[in-house]
Amino acid sequence: MNTLEALLERRLRELAVNLPGDTLAHLLKYVELLMRWNQTYNLTAVREPLAMIDRHIVDSLAVLPYCQRTDLIDIGTGPGVPGLVLALTQPYEQVWLVDSNGKKARFLRECLRHFPLPQVTVHECRAEQLPTAQFGQIISRAYSDLSTFIANTRQLLARDGRWLAMKGKMPHAEIAKLPADVVVESKIALQVPGADGERCLVTIGRRADPHS
């Protein structure tokens, strides 16, 4: 067992996440591809493979228990974090990976040539340019402030869907500025092994219409 595999298995035990061997192999292959492409295209500021395990793979999998619906759209996915990582571990029926950066979109398309993920599509555009859709969950990791995240993705959320915002410290000031027609459903302090700071997840839904 190499060092990367040993670290990943240890972090998964610490997260209490059980994944089959082929999924572990796919996650390690993803790190290998990211390392290779990052040398030329500067896709992430994280350079070391061990740090990629912690800051990309483990950070993404920490929200796995809260992403249990059948579809997912990841806004500002960058090199596929968390959307592609989650898609490698969950049997979603539909996943959209959205990023306007051409280099990152090309990397994601290359990844899809290596993994059996026919349900995953890459969208090289800004969130507000996407067509109207009906997703049960919209996720982002440090895409923008919460109000902008919601404003740019309203057309993508199903009536009973929810936004999942991955943040560092709990964004109390951003929460206070949310529009009146949405409601914070939960504020979760995440315990992320190997994290270099605080991590949290804010889940937001549409406020019920009293006239409906």
Q: Give DSSP secondary structure letters for the chain.
A: --HHHHHHHHHHHHHT----HHHHHHHHHHHHHHHHHHHHH---S--SHHHHIIIIIIHHHTTGGG--SSEEEEET-TTTTTHHHHHTTS--SEEEEE---HHHHHHHHHHHTTS--TTEEEE-S-GGGSPP--EEEEEEES-S-HHHHHHHHGGGEEEEEEEEEEESS--HHHHHT--TTEEEEEEEE---TT-SS--EEEEEEEPPPTT-
Report the C-alpha gap between 71 and 91 in whole angstroms. Answer: 9
pLDDT score, position 207 = 92
Which residues are registered as beta bridge partners of 72? 95
Q: How many separate domains does the chain show?
A: 1
Query: What are the residue ranges in the chain where pLDDT is below 70?
Result: 1, 210-212
Q: Which CATH number is 175's domain given?
A: 3.40.50.150
Q: Which domain holds residue 84?
A: 3-206
pLDDT score, position 1 = 62
Question: Does 212 fall in a domain?
Answer: no
Question: Does 211 fall in a domain?
Answer: no
Hey, how many other C-beta atoms are within 10 angstroms of the C-beta on 94?
A: 16
Question: Does 191 fall in a domain?
Answer: yes
Question: Does 137 fall in a domain?
Answer: yes
pLDDT score, position 142 = 82
Tens of pLDDT, residue by residue over 41-68, are 989 999 999 999 999 999 999 999 999 8
Question: Does 146 fall in a domain?
Answer: yes
pLDDT score, position 210 = 54
Global pTM?
A: 0.95
pLDDT score, position 196 = 86
pLDDT score, position 211 = 55
pLDDT score, position 42 = 87
